Structure 1
Amino acid sequence: MPSARRSFDTSEDIVRRTAQALAVNLLRFSVLRPDRVTDVDAEWLSRIGELVQTHNPVLGREVDYASALPSLVETFLRLSPRKFGGIARVQNAQLRKTLPRVVEMLDDLPISVQSFGPTGASPTV
Structure 2
Amino acid sequence: MIPIVLDLIVAGLLAGVIAYCLVLDQRLRALREGQTSLTDFIAKLTEATKRAETTLAGIKMVAEGSGAELQQRTKAARAAADELALLVESGSKLSSRLEGQRPENGAGQALLKALKEAR
Q: Please state which band the TM-score falls in when normalised by the shorter chain.
A: under 0.3
| Bigger helix fraction | 2
TM-score, with normalisation over the residues of structure 2? 0.26
Q: TM-score, normalised by structure 1?
A: 0.25
Structure with the larger RCO, 1 or 2 (CA within 8 Å, 6+ apart): 1
